[in-house]
Every structure is written in structure tokens, then in C-alpha cells.
Structure 1
Amino acid sequence: MNRKLLALPIVVGLMTPVLAACGSGSGSGDDGKAIVFGTTDEFHITPQAPAPLDPVTGYDIQSWNVFYNTFQTLLRYPRSGTDPEPEAAKECHFADGLGEQYRCTLRDGLEFSNGHALTSKDVKFSIDRMLAIKDENGPYSLLTNVDKVETPDDATVVFHLKDPDATFPYKLATPAAAIVDSEVYDPKKQHAGFDIVGSGPYQLDSFKEGDSAVFTKNPHYKGTIKLNNSKIELKFFKNSTDMEKALKAGDIDVMNRTMTPDQLNSLNISTDSNIKLTETAGTEIRYLVFNTADPVVKQKAVREAFAQIVDRQAITRDVYKRTTEPLYSMVPAGITAHATSFYNTYGEPSVPKARKVLKEANITTPVELTLSYTTEHYGEATKAEFELLKKQLDASGLFKIKLQPVADWHAYTDAGRKHSYQVYGMGWFPDFPDPDNYVAPFLAKDNFLELAYANPQIQNQLINSTRQKTQRSATFPDFTAVQNIIASDVPMLPMWQGKQYLAARSDITGTEWTLNASSTTQFWELGRGVTG
């Protein structure tokens, strides 16, 4: 059974859905029984990642799935709309006309899950700690515009920014600004192990590496979220096949990340009344990163010819079975200022055009390149995607491609930042629904990829210009210019844009609200209703 949630191509927030199937039910009940949520995500303690559940270390979708449910932020996104609303704060506003000072007042009586009082000092501690530790795998780059944080009293927090930033409230609604207990977390080092002390709607009761994690309702929580259940069990699976079997057997109630395209299509046409598939618009993107410090890749003509050959339509059709859409810009459809710059620049795939580009640059063919990808993080279809990429490029006669799969996610990202790859694949789940979040994390001075490529116009002019505009529609010209520069210089190559899917037993309610605009999971929306 399939239910689709339709969305118009406008700024994507937590959109009010339109249901096109039966059994949506909003009357969720809580019988005290855990709702078991299946995932192929993995959390491991390693020397490179000793603290997988510390907000300073996690900047990926699986970590944020946990953080959104266990930590509070001053602001959060509502069910519908894109403007952050108060959560741990009862009110926030820019306190000056320049957009350089942001002030928040906390709710009364806030407490962490251990019963400790939460005050403005904990908020300041959390921001200062994020910036002090500056973990290379963490989201500190979202907060680097913070100059200092002041706490005039226990209920007031004042952020002083280095430069005007209209997107700052959006950033305060992400786990980069998760509030941690200053009596528990060390100000200068990671909080190792599987332990969480937050003030969010859930507390983490247990974590068995490679098996399961149990979250229960936090009795100390004071915020705006209404829980439709009192217990969530996160069940970890090695592969999506075993996860689907568990769902059909009734051993789990819900599954999300990561399902294969074949599974999604099978569930879409299934007549099994016990299982329902929910589809929503998504703003996840996949892209390739070009290491412009590499002797071969630094030649712009090589990157242009590569972009001229890649057939996105074939990849979304043959690998992803139309569960994704071709993407021609780093800013996806559904986000303000989206443009189709790569299509405008390169048009349809063309080997003759690519050959001409290389010939005019006096580049000998075939160009030998290694394409690297992770086998752990983005699902089982990634391997097939890169195999088809290799086939397309090799078939042109202009490239000779070698594939390099990498199993360990942290080793993979570390190598990318160290410029160890020529070309490598990455994905992006947005921190917040604004075009800034598809530009600054990759192209600002403190970008998390640590790209060898740097464009002064983007870094010094265009990003700053967009952040001074509180009316986001006024940013169109600047963001269009950024997208056109990326298409011209090709430091990255956008590949496809994903949709969001969640499969659940028919008695589970709230699935239409469970995945937010960042593809993160809001456990509190899930409830248990009537089967069928």
C-alpha cells in the first residue's frame, strides 16, 4: 500500500501533506509498547570516532536522527512552514538593525534528563564547546560566524555575530546548537561512549552497539513537542533485505534508511494491507567532488568533459528506478533560488562536445581517473551507481576509469579532506531549508569538505550578500550567480535529488510527519492506531 505526500516546487519546509491513499489516521494512541524502528545505519566506537553520540562530532544523518530526539535547541522547525519556532527558548529575535546581535529568552524550569537545571550558561557552554573542540567531523562550521555569547542572566542568551547573517536562526534549530549539560560534558574534549544527557523529548536508556538503542519519554522535558509514544527502539540491521523481512514478519514496526530502489518499487505496488509506504518530497542530494589539487583533475577541461558525458537520466532510471530525480545544480528543486545551471551549460550528454573540450585543451586521451565511493554510508545502490558512471565514461573512449570502494566512513571522509582522492562521491542532507545550506558548507572559507577549490567572489562577496537579506526571495540573483560559477568551474558535480520514503506496519500512525525537511526522523510523531 502506497501513500504519496505531494509537494509543490516551492521552499520545502515541514510541509502540510496531501494524502493519496488510505490509513493515514491521526488518532495515535500510546499503549506503552515500544515502536521498533529499523535502520541500516551504524554507530561504532573507533579510535577515529570515540564519541559517536556527542553533537560536536556528528555531522551526518544517522547522528542527527538521534540528536534531534534527545537534545533541545533554542529553536526548531514546525510541522509546516520553514521559519524556526521557539523550543527551549520562549522567544528569540534580532536585537539590532544590522543582523549582528541575536537574543533569546529561555523557557521557565528547563531541565536535563538527569534533573539538572538548564540555564543560559549551558547554552553558552554548548556553543563555546562546539567552537573550541572544532571536531573535523562535526558541524562547528555552522557556528563560525559567532563572535561571542553573553548571558546577562540565567534566562537570557545574546549571540554577537562577526557579520550579519539572516540564516542564523535556522542554524540555531540544528544539532550544531544542541544544548548539553555543562556539569557532564567536558568543555575541551569529546564525550566518549554511548551516553547522552540532553533535555529533548526522549532520553537514551540503553545502547547495544550493532544491535539496538532504546529511547524513552524524558520525564523532565519542557518544550513544544507532543509525543505520540513513550518508547522507541532503534533496531540496527546489516542490510536492507533482513530489515524488510523483519518488517513483514512484524518484528519491527517501521523502516527507513536505507531501502533499495527495488524494495521501494516492490512496496509501492504491493497489495499487502499490513504494510504501507509513505513517500514525501525530499531535498537530499548526491554529488561528486573534484580534487582540484590533483595534477590531472586540476585541469578544468577534464572536469568539463567529465560533466559533459555523465548521463544523470540513465542513473536515476537504471540504478535508482526513478526513486530519485536528475539534479543540475547544488541547490535542489524545492529550495528557493534553485537553477538548472549545469543543464544550461552542458545540455544533454554529448561525447563529441567532451572530445572537443579535451582536444582544445591539448589533453591526451583516454584520461585516467580513479572514482572513489563509500560502501558503508549511502546504501547498497551506491556501488551500482558508480559502476554505471564508469561504464558511461569508459564508453566515451575519452576516459579510463578505476573504481575505489572504501568501507570505513570516517576513513573515507578523512581521506577526502586530505585531498587523497581524485574524484569521490558524497551526499548531503540539508541542515536547514535555505539555499545558503547548499552553498556555504561546500564553498565558504571554513567549508567542511576542506576543498582545494576556492572562489573569492563566492567566499567574499556572494555568500555575505545573501546573508544580509532577511527576505530570502531577494537572494535569487546572488544564488543564481553562485550556481552558474559552480557549473562553469566544476569543483563539484550534482548528480541526483532524492525523495523520502518510510515503510511501516498498517497500525502505525504519523508516518506522514516523521521525516522532516532535512530527512531526519522525528520519533515523537509515530503512534500506534488501528490495523488495516
Structure 2
Amino acid sequence: MNRKTKLISLASAALLAASMSACGAVKDAAEKSIENKPAEGELRLGTTEVVTAMDPAGSYDFGSWNMQYSIFQQLMSIPPNGDQPEDDAAHCEAKDPKTVECKLKEGLKFSNGNELTSSDVLFSMKRNVEIADPNGSSVLLGSISNGDAKNPGLADGAIETPDDLTVVFHLNAADSTFLKVLTTATTSIVDEETFPADEKLADDKVIGSGPYTLDTYKKDELTVLAANKSYEGTKAPASKTIYITSYGTSANLKTAIENDKVDVAWRTLSPQELTDLGSNDKVDVITGSGSEFRYWVWQFGTKVGKDQAVRQAAAQIIDRDRISERAYDGTVEPAYSIVPPGFGGQKDSFEEKYGDPDPAAAKTILDEAGVKTPVKITVGWNPDHYGPNTVDEAQELEKQLEADGLFDVTLQSDPWEEYQTLYKQNAYDLFILGWYPDILDADNYLTPFLRDGGFFANNYQSDEVNDLLSQELAETDEGARDDIIGQLQDVTAEDVPLIPSWNGKNVAVAKKGVTGVKETLDPTYIFRLWMVKAPGDESSEASESPSASE
């Protein structure tokens, strides 16, 4: 779903604290997060993830969304290890296939004291769609948008607010997944008196009505969350203060947990590092169910990428078992479909069409299409967003494509922030991306990838696919919908707008005595910070959460 990080050393932490001495809370937070002196009620999380934007209108990535789930409320939410929406800020129900009504809970307030009303909900949805940030997730609000890429906005009459507590969504097409969309960070409710309507709010200024407030923010380094004293909801904070440090590399993150600098390490440690930490008797390696998806996308905007024979030949060659074994020590499962196992309608369409890896069959495909070999191809990968083993996967794919002389591969790596822009600008013929579900529904692995070039803007266009997507979203009969979803996977294997690589699990490492981690490791990949609690230092005097205004 951005990153340019570095390990905060003791020296750099001191320098950081000195440079921000005007804000005592920042100084205290930076020192506490490093010095290994957590007080009772404090939690230290280490990660390699960073934040693209704290503003819900400006992000569609892992690091950002998991901050937003703690700072903002959504109308509905998915409970741990569940897959159906439950009430959060509101009770919502579908009145008919194109109408959803939500009743807000009474007395909700933002952390600044402002009331949360239906007007704020309308404002939140409208600004997200209109800002249409290239790194944002407004694409998930397609059911209420006008569909105009040049002048994005809500469709006429898309949202009604008959009173302060009622929001009625009028969808532009039947959408059986819309209640689940209302659980995502995309639909986070922001204060219309604080957030600008036409641009993102500065990261360190965001406020919400969720279980935590943003106390301190140092981009790519340190985030401090403090329990929201005015929060009224079901996500009661287990910890008063949470320090979240981005360590930049998995090696630095591993060192941090070994040296007792963090209580929990989550996202992303390599398979080898997890194996090593498994023998450490001071920590637990905790594995939960997951639905992580890694895949290679073809850019139809390039001459090579738009050639179906080239795409099919590469799909015929790729050996997923070797990628799993050689790049990930066998810790991931080969993926033969755009939809992971466990979702309704899933079928291994790529295995059915291409069978075992077969360079001879790939050569036949190219020869019959009159494609001269070797095909020169630029393959893009990112070194700092998907973990340290991405380079191993990229190099393994290069070996496979070049082994029989059918392809001549040039590998190109770029930092994540640039990478997100470059792959949309035809810099690569083929490029790697990862996906973690926004909602637990097969459509979340279909519509965002296949409709009109997908979120990654690869220029793939298929009227057949668009029609099938509309059909499955509108279909209420489970068996009939599963059949349509199966058809979509078959078309994907035929057209090859992307090549599925593997599926993975949700893993964290925690100090002995930390609670709540196992419960939140589920296929949503929402790390529910409000559930997690460190054992704390009983001898330390519990302190109040620091305030950035002090």
C-alpha cells in the first residue's frame, strides 16, 4: 500500500531532541522511545513502515492506514478475526441494493471538543473524492463518485444528511461490498472545522475521534500516540502512550527487539530473521492468519507490456515454488490466482491455463505471435517497502526469464516514494507490488486491480471485465456471484494484466508478557494498537500521557 527511513541512534535521538526543544513533549517522547525506560501504560512498537500521509485523503498504504485506524473513527469496523462489519461510529444497514443508511451514535466528539455530526461524514467523503490524491484511496469510493477523472466529485445526490445523526448513501450502482468499504481508513471521519476541503492537512495537525490522538510526529522516524480521554467507543486503549519508531531496515528492527528497545516488532522482518528470533527465549514469534498478496504488474503503456504474447510467455515461465524456496525460505505459498485461497469463488486460473513452468511452451507462444527473442524488458522493484527479500525475488524472476534466452531483463530499483510515480509513468514494463486487503471480500482483489487500469494505472482496459465486475458487485446470490468471480479470474489468466506470485501470513515478534498481539494478527492486517499492552515497569511511577501542547 512509502518509505525513506533510517535508524534513530542514541546520538541522532539526542540531536533530534535538541532541535525540537521548543516542544518538550517531542523531546521526552524521543528519549523515552530509545532509552528503554517505559513507564507503566506505555508501549513501544518498532516497524520498517512509514507514513505517506496522516490525512485519510492522502494515503493508500500500510503505515498510514494503521495510524488512521487509531486516530480516527469509521462508521463501521471489522472485529479481530472477523469478516463482517460491526457498528463503530454508527449503525449502518442496506435499505436496498443501492441505498445504505447510517445512524450516528449520540454524543460523539472529536478530540478537540467539536461535535461529530452527519455533516462531518459528508465533508469527509466529499473531500476525499474531490482531492483525488494520486497516493490516496478515493478509488474505493467509486460507488458514490461521479466517475469524472478530470473533475472528480460526489455523484449528484450521493449523500443525504436529513439530520445531525443520519447519513444516507445513494449508490450509483448496486454494491454488495459498500458496508465493508465503510470500515476502511478511506472513510475515516474528519472534523470539517479543522481539515481543509481542497487539500491535505499537515501530518502533525490531524485530529480525530478515535481511541488515540496524535501527540508527536517526526516523519519517517517517530510517532507518539496518546490515549484520547474523550473517546467513547468499543476500542478502549489498553496503553496510555504508544511510541512507534520506524527503523528503516529489517536488520535494525531485529537489533532493536534483541536489545529491548521495542516491545513489539511488526512489519517487516525477513524469514531468516524471524527464524533467528524464534530461538530467543525473551521474545515470541507470533503468526496469525493472513491474506498478503505479492504480484507482478504489466504496464500496458509500454510497447513490451501491451503485447499479450509477451505477457503470456512470462506467465508460462514463472516458477513460484522456486521463488518461495529461494527468496523466502519456503515461508510463503505460491499464488496461482489474483484472489487468495479462502475467498468465495477463488480458483487457481493461472495454474489451470499454464500448468507447470514450461519455457518451451513460452517459446511457442512468442514464435506464433511473431515476437523476436530475446525480448528486452525492464523490470522494476522497490528496495525499501516490501521487506529485504524483494531483491531476492526480483533476481530469481530475472534468472527464470533469461534462462532459455527468451528474455533480456534489466532490473531497476527505486525508492518507494519515487517508485509509486514511476510505475504509473511507464518507467517499467513489469513491476512488483504487494497487497493487503482493504476489505475481506474477493472483489477487493478484483476491482482495484482490473477496472480501467486499476489503482496502479497500468492502462489495462477490458469492457468484458468491467461488465463482470459490475455483475458480481450487484449479485446477491452467493453461488451466482462465486461463478462470476471465477470467470474474472479466468479472464485475468488469459489477458495477464498481472502475474500472481505468492500469498503470505501476518507475523509479529513481541517481548514475553505483551498481550493483545495474537488477537490482532488477522487477514485484515489492521494492527489494532488499542488492544496491545506491554507488561510495563511496576517500579516506575505511571505518568500521564504527554501533550504536544504542553
Q: TM-score, normalised by structure 2?
A: 0.86
2:401 is the counterpart of 1:393: yes
Judge conservation of contact 1:31–1:528 (CA < 8 Å) in 2: no
Kindly provide the amino acid, as one letter, of the partner of residue 196 in structure 2. D
| Residue 177, structure 1, aligned to residue 178, structure 2 | no
Any stretches of 5+ residues in structure 1 without a counterpart? Answer: 1-29, 44-48
Query: Are the counterparts in 2 of residues 145 and 161 from structure 1 also a CA contact under 8 Å?
Result: yes
Alpha carbons 1:87, 1:223 under 8 Å: kept: yes
1:239 lines up with 2:245 in the alignment:
no
| SS of residue matched to 2:58 | coil
Whether 1:332 aligns to 2:333 is no
CA change 1:301–1:446 in 2 (3 A) is closer
User: For 1:404, what is the secondary structure of its paired residue?
Assistant: strand
After superposition, residues 194-233 of structure 1 pair within 5 angstroms as 194-233=204-243
Residues 86-134 of structure 1, C-alpha deviations (whole Å, 9 max, x = no match): 1000x211123xx111100001110111111101100010001111111
In structure 1, distance between residues paired with 2:229 and 2:440: 31
> Does structure 1 retain, via aligned residues, the 8 Å contact 2:283–2:512?
yes
Report the counterpart of residue 109 of structure 2 in structure 1: 111
Cross-structure match for 2:128 = 130
Shift in Å, 1:141: 0.7
- Is 1:419 matched with 2:420? no
The equivalent residue for 1:165 is 175
- Relative to structure 1, the CA distance from residue 398 to residue 56 in structure 2 (aligned partners, 3 Å threshold; closer, same or farther) is same
| Deviation at residue 31 of structure 1 after TM alignment | 6.9
The answer on whether the counterparts of 1:72 and 1:198 sit within 8 Å (CA) in structure 2 is yes
Q: Could you tell me which amino acid in structure 2 is paired with residue 448 of structure 1?
A: F
Kept in 2, the 8 Å contact 1:113–1:199? The answer is: yes
Trace 1:83-94 onto structure 2 (pairs within 5 A): 83-89=84-90, 91-94=91-94
Q: Deviations over 1:344-386 (max 9, x none)?
A: 1111111111111111112111111110111121111111110
**How far has the Cα of 1:417 moved from its partner?**
1.9
1:56, 1:135 within 8 Å by CA — same for their partners in 2?
yes
Contact in 1 for aligned 2:39/2:536 (Cα 8 Å): no
Kindly report which structure 2 residues correspond to 1:341-490, keeping only aligned pairs within 5 A, or say none.
341-407=349-415, 409-445=416-452, 447-459=454-466, 461-490=467-496
CA 1:410–1:209: 2 relative to 1, 3 Å? closer
Shift of residue 190 of structure 1?
A: 1.1
Distance 2:476 2:286 in 1: 34
Distance 1:507 1:195 in 2: 34
CA contact under 8 A between 1:291 and 1:419: conserved in structure 2? yes
Relative to its length, the structure with more helix (as a share) is 2
In structure 1, the partner of 2:31 is none
- Name the residue aligned to 1:15: none
AA matched with 2:126 = D
Superposition deviation, residue 446 in structure 1: 7.3
The structure-2 alpha-carbon separation of the partners of 1:177 and 1:530, relative to structure 1 and needing over 3 Å to count, comes to closer
Instruction: Tell me whether 461-470 or 503-512 shows the greater mean CA deviation.
Output: 461-470
Q: In the superposition, relative to structure 1, how do residues 107 and 446 fare at CA in structure 2: closer, same or farther (>3 Å)?
A: farther
Q: Quick one: which of 287, 290, 293 aligns to 1:285?
A: 293
Amino acid aligned to 1:464: S
Tell me how many residue pairs correspond in the alignment. 488
CA distance in 1, matches of 2:263, 2:518: 15
Q: What residue number does 2:518 align with?
A: 512
Partner AA of 2:461 in structure 1: A
**Separation (CA, whole Å) in 1 of partners of 2:523 and 2:234:** 18
- Matches of 1:193 and 1:81 in 2, distance apart? 31
Q: Secondary structure at the match of 1:303?
A: helix
SS in 2 for 1:281: strand
In the alignment, the residues of structure 1 paired with residue 81 and residue 384 of structure 2 have an alpha-carbon distance, to the nearest angstrom, of 33
Moved more, 235-244 or 106-115: 235-244
Residues of 2 paired with 1:466 and 1:370: CA distance? 35
Give the corresponding residue for 2:9.
none
AA paired with 2:128?
Answer: M
CA distance in 2: counterparts of 1:230 and 1:469, whole angstroms: 45
In the alignment, is the contact (CA less than 8 A) between 1:325 and 1:498 conserved in 2? yes
Q: Name which of 531, 543, 548 aligns with 1:525.
A: 531
Query: 2: CA distance between counterparts of 1:38 and 1:113?
Result: 26
Contact kept in structure 2, 1:442 and 1:451, CA below 8 Å: no
- Secondary structure class of the residue paired with 2:226: strand
Q: Which residue of 2 aligns with 1:8?
A: none
Q: Distance in 2 between matches of 1:56 and 1:479?
A: 30
1:228 offset after TM fit, Å?
2.0
C-alpha contact (below 8 Å) 2:42/2:536 kept by paired residues: no
Deviation at 1:482, TM superposition (A): 0.4
Which residue does 1:33 correspond to in 2?
A: 41
Mapped partners of 1:264, 1:80: distance in 2 = 23
Q: Does the 8 Å contact 1:256/1:503 carry over to 2?
A: yes
CA distance in 1, matches of 2:140, 2:187: 9
Instruction: Report the equivalent of 1:74.
Output: 75
The one-letter code matched in structure 2 to 1:162 is N
Residue of structure 2 equivalent to 1:5: none
Distance 2:121 2:269 in 1: 37
Q: Which amino acid is the alignment partner of residue 370 of structure 1?
A: T
Query: How far apart, CA to CA, are the structure 1 residues paired with 2:76 and 2:274?
Result: 34
Contact 1:261-1:319 at 8 Å conserved across structures: no
**Deviation (angstroms), 1:296:** 2.1
Match of 1:265 in 2: 275
After superposition, the Cα gap between the structure-2 partners of 1:505 and 1:317, relative to the gap in structure 1 and judged at 3 Å, is same
Contact 2:41 2:536 (8 Å CA) reproduced = no
Poorly superposed stretches of 4+, deviation over 6 Å: none
Measured after TM superposition, the shift of residue 471 of structure 1 is 4.8
SS in 1 for 2:291: coil
Q: What is the aligned partner in structure 2 of residue 63 from structure 1?
A: 64
Amino acid at match of 1:432: I
Equivalent residue for 2:545? none
Residue of structure 2 equivalent to 1:501: 507
Superposition CA RMSD, Å: 1.7
Aligned partner of 1:493: which letter?
I
Query: What's the CA shift string for 1:428-463, capped at 9, x where partnerless?
Result: 11100101100101112373122211111111x211
The runs of 5 or more residues in structure 2 that have no matched partner are: 1-37, 145-154, 538-550
